[in-house]
């Protein structure tokens, strides 16, 4: 992919808003710990229809603001992944990153749904458009990979297999719409802490290499929710539940409410429930709300489009 994104001078404007989706990992196979501290992954991402919106406008210096239910948990300094994305793009082009980045946050923070990664991908595309830097998709993807393992997927969306630490992407075909319910927990879980707990629980056990499941890829290709439910797997789930034992009750409440399958989303603590169709998803959501085992319940579907200018 080498074509330039629509960001030439003719399309330059003084305000750019990019919408960018959350993700669920329908397969997260975690291989042995590598010598660089990362794990090799077979990570099957599906973008789902919960979105952050990242708006950039020219400013005297780099500034971040954030609104939304979890806004107080989002850092507003240069550690914000959206700020890091703007700085990385500006450095590459010898520009000053003088931009106001406003994040309208709807993706749970530290919830295992790649909210920070979404904002990074959103800010990158928004700044590239605002500044008319005209990056190719490959250039943007390479900056994304430097910013974090999940950031490249946030840019492309849809469904993809991530190898390496998750950043080497192969797009996947999806034959239908999958209906999901997400149970948002109180507070987040730190992704590095969940990987450490995974290593601790594994102890000295021999860990096989991470490989994608052929059955799962076929279920995505055919769009069959029953087949996908039978193949969903997250190797981080035991670690997330070990750190947050209350997730077991959330997972049970969703399956008792009629979900085809339940799993922790990424490193958690958000739990994801696959439903047969939209009506079943509403019923699962009602059961989860009634159970009192989570802070909020969201109903949506996937695949969703990756980062795009509005």
Question: Is residue 36 among the annotated active site residues?
Answer: no
Q: Closest distance between ligand ATP and the C-beta of residue 107, in Å?
A: 7
- Does position 112 interact with ligand ATP (CB under 6 A)? The reply is yes
Is 23 catalytic? The answer is yes
Segment contacting ligand ATP by CB under 6 A, of 77-85, 134-142, 175-183, 221-229: 77-85
Kindly report the backbone phi and psi dihedral angles of residue 78, in degrees, each rounded to the nearest multiple of 5, phi listed first: -70, -5
Size of the site for ligand ATP (CB under 6 A): 22
Task: List the catalytic residue out of 40, 52, 128, 150.
Answer: 150
Of 81, 143, 174, 219, the residue at the interface with ligand ATP (CB under 6 A) is: 81
Instruction: Let me know: does 157 contact 307? Beta carbons within 8 Å.
Output: yes
Question: Do 188 and 73 touch, CB atoms closer than 8 A?
Answer: yes
Cβ closer to ligand ATP: 113 or 287?
113
Q: Which of 20, 28, 29, 82 binds ligand ATP (CB under 6 A)?
A: 82
Cα 310 to chain centroid, rounded: 20
Is 164 a binder of ligand ATP (CB under 6 A)?
no
Give the nearest distance from C-beta 4 to ligand ATP in angstroms.
Answer: 26
Between 287 and 304, name the residue whose CB sits nearer to ligand ATP: 304
Q: Taking CB under 6 A as the rule, does residue 109 contact ligand ATP? A: yes
> Please, which residues have CB within 8 angstroms of residue 107's CB and are 6 or more apart in sequence?
22, 50, 51, 52, 113, 114, 115, 118
Q: Give catalytic residues, as residue numbers.
A: 23, 150
User: Which residues in this chain contact ligand ATP in the complex, by CB under 6 A?
Assistant: 74-75, 79-82, 103, 109-117, 119, 150, 188, 191, 266-267
């Amino acid at each position: 992919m080498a074509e330039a994104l629509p960001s030439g001078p003719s399309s330059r404007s003084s305000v750019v808003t990019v919408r960018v989706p959350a993700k669920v990992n329908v397969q997260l196979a975690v291989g042995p710990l590598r010598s660089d501290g990362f794990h090799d992954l077979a990570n099957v991402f599906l973008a789902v229809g919960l979105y952050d919106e990242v708006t950039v406008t020219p400013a005297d210096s780099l500034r971040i603001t954030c609104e939304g239910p979890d806004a107080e948990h989002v850092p507003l300094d240069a550690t914000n992944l959206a700020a890091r994305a703007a700085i990385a793009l500006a450095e590459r082009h010898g520009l000053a990153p003088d931009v106001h980045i406003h994040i309208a946050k709807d993706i749970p923070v530290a919830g295992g749904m790649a909210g920070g990664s979404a904002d990074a991908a959103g800010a990158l595309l928004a700044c590239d458009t605002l500044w008319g830097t005209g990056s190719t998709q490959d250039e943007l993807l390479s900056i994304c990979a430097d910013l974090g393992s999940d950031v490249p997927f946030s840019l492309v969306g849809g469904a993809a297999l991530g190898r390496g630490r998750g950043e080497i992407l192969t797009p996947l075909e999806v034959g239908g719409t999958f209906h999901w319910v997400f149970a948002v927990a109180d507070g987040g879980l730190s992704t590095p802490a969940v990987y450490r707990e995974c290593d601790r629980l594994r102890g000295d056990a021999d860990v096989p290499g991470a490989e994608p499941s052929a059955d799962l890829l076929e279920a995505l290709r055919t769009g069959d929710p029953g087949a996908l439910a039978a193949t969903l797997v997250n190797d981080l789930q035991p670690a997330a539940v070990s750190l947050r034992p209350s997730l077991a009750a959330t997972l049970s409440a969703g399956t008792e409410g009629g979900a085809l399958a339940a799993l922790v989303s990424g490193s958690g603590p958000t739990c994801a429930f696959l439903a047969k169709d939209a009506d079943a998803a509403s019923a699962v959501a009602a059961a989860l709300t009634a159970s009192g085992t989570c802070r909020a319940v969201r109903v949506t579907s996937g695949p969703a489009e990756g980062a795009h200018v509005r």
